[in-house]
């Protein structure tokens, strides 16, 4: 599990346009948020909130990456449908989510299954993790992350 002060694992993911993104090469401030599934209510709202704050993050030199298990083609449709301005990354094999400690056992209506825990990581300009939010509640989350980014 990745902790504050740790580095982002060296894993390559595809974004929603099928461009390769080497996660360990992110050496600028960044928001990396994990969400369970594209085009579902909570995940859509979270993406919209980061898009609403996109210019504020950009003015601070902070890039935004959303990560799910969805295929790049689904992410491309999701990004286009809601006009997301930030990168959406595909972790189909769950390698990155496992390394980051957000591939967890969940329980819904007594049924246990593995899935992505909604979580956000904020990295500093050297690529080290500066702050972590786990079990994120979507309401006002992007604003809280923005406030933390202002302190980098």
Positions marked active-site: 43
Residues sharing a CB contact under 8 Å with residue 91, sequence separation 6 or more, in sequence order:
13, 67, 68, 69, 97
Could you tell me which residues are beta bridge partners of residue 34?
67, 119
Q: Are 20 and 12 in contact (CB under 8 A)?
A: yes
Helix axes 141-149, 41-52, angle to 10 degrees: 40
Q: Are 26 and 149 in contact (CB under 8 A)?
A: no
Cα 102 to Cα 45: distance, rounded to the nearest angstrom: 20
Q: CA 85, 40, 55: angle at the middle one, nearest 5?
A: 20
DSSP code, position 101 = T
């Amino acid at each position: 599990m990745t902790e504050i002060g740790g580095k982002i694992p060296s894993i390559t993911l595809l974004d929603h346009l099928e461009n390769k993104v080497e996660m360990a090469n992110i050496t600028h401030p960044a928001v990396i948020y994990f969400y369970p599934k594209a085009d579902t209510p909570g995940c859509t709202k979270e993406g919209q909130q980061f898009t609403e704050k996109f210019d504020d993050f950009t003015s601070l030199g902070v890039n935004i990456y959303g990560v799910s298990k969805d295929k790049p083609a689904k992410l491309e449709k999701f990004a286009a449908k809601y006009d997301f301005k930030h990168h959406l990354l595909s972790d189909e094999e769950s390698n990155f989510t496992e390394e980051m400690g957000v591939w967890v056992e969940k329980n819904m209506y007594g049924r246990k299954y593995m899935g992505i825990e909604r979580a956000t990581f904020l990295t500093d300009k050297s690529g080290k993790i500066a702050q972590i939010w786990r079990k994120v509640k979507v309401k006002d989350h992007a604003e809280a992350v923005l406030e933390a980014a202002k302190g980098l």
